[in-house]
Structure 1
Amino acid sequence: MRILTYISSFIFLLLVLTSCSGKQYQTLFEQKTANTDTTSRKTTGDLSAYRIKPQDLLQIRNLQNISYVVDAPQTGNGTSVGGGGAIQTYQVDEDGSVALPVIGHVAVAGLTRSQAAKLVEDLYRKNLLKDPIIELKITNLKVTMLGEITGQGNFPLIKDKTTLVEMIGQAGGLTKNANETNIKIIRGDQSNPQITVINLRDVSSINDPRAILQSGDIIYIAQNKRSIRNENLQNITSIAQPVLLLINTALLIISFSHR
């Protein structure tokens, strides 16, 4: 019976340990420690330096006319969404040009967003509009958020110099299991990916130029040590519980048979 008591106590203790999850504290931006990464220390690029490519989607509008680029938008590559005050998008063709109302095909591949906006503005000023103010955005650029983040998935990258902290906010913030000292930004092609590790406990990470996001970035938030430890313990318990239950049952049968 004494052995049975010990076995039963062990099982109870194991179940208690696996059911407990300690409180997680997200102590962001406190420790002023150096960030670690596997890339060079040079400043990374940002969205303002992005060069337009074929298949990109451009949102173009004349701020002097909030409805459309021109008064009577024409059909073509431009796609009108909704009614008055609609936003139109235009896809860049394989030859690097985009078809716009009235002025026709405009070569934009290889230009930055601001360069393309100025080019379109000058063409409309020359051919049609008086003092146009052209706003141009690239709407298909995105980053991917994975790991211990409230909202995983793809998020559009519209604003120049969008930071890691801003994107985490858009995704709903970190989960309680996140390791805020180990946030990886993965960029580059598959054959030569570059990984930057950002420590959000470091207040300097707010202004870290390496944390300015680029289109195609994958952001991965790892689990903290406590979460990993609890998960491993749960995995061990899920395997051990059936065995312990069989042992406990066998001991009970043996105990009753010797009475």
Structure 2
Amino acid sequence: MSGVVNVNRISLNQITTENWSLREAIDGCVRNEIPTISVWRHKISEVGLKESKKMIKESGLGVSSVCRGGMFPALTASERVQRIDDNKRAIEEAAELGTDVLVLVCGAAPDKNLPESRKWVQEGIETLIPFAEQHKVKLGIEPLHPMYAADRSVITTLGEANALQNSLASSQVGVIVDVFHVWWDPFLYQEIENARGNILGFHVSDWKVPLPDIFKGRSMMGDGVIEIPRIRQAVEENDYHGPIEVEIINQDIWDMPGDETLKLMKKSFVEHV
């Protein structure tokens, strides 16, 4: 297996150019020969699903995923039903835009009860499976770094995500491997092997030291400590050969001219992924 990544696998996760509209991001990808985009739902809502679909189709871009579904835990049953309804809309959006992957950020514990919230996450995904299957969209459980357990996800390791996927026992459910969230895990490579055949996405960025910010702390590949090529080769050895999304949440990068970001992104992708 070659250790060199094919630049044609690059996908712009739209959050990397947060200051751009969907139209601007699509045009930027076309100008910079980036073949694939991952679309965020708040960008879809700005122009509507119909117009989003039209723009993407006319551009010729592939769609690697839609971000995001999830956020299942809530204090009341009615709130949890509302979360399910919103996830169904997200599944419909993914299907309309031509991707078969909806990324799930599972949600935090609203009442400090982590076990209960993890149960709600499982119940929420289980409820969605028939609807996802009907729309031919797979649900990608993305474990987030433990520092996000308080406000974004009670699923914090790839091992947890794998266990959840196994307990659901559905081919509609898989996992997302994002290097920013999992690089530190002493069981990472064993868990990537355990996820064989169920990896639905691979996301790259870097962990700069010191971390500049908890939420907006991701850096461009090569600017931090993550052994990205080793993780990439591990997911490839376990049957993931799809698009590689560059997902960078960083105010300084957001404030750069978008085309400059995409040029730097491609250069860093070739050299450090």
The normalised TM-score by structure 1 is: 0.24
Larger proportion of strand: 1
The normalised TM-score by structure 2 is: 0.23
Answer 1 or 2: higher relative contact order, Cα 8 Å, separation at least 6: 1
Larger proportion of helix: 2
Higher-Rg member (1/2):
1
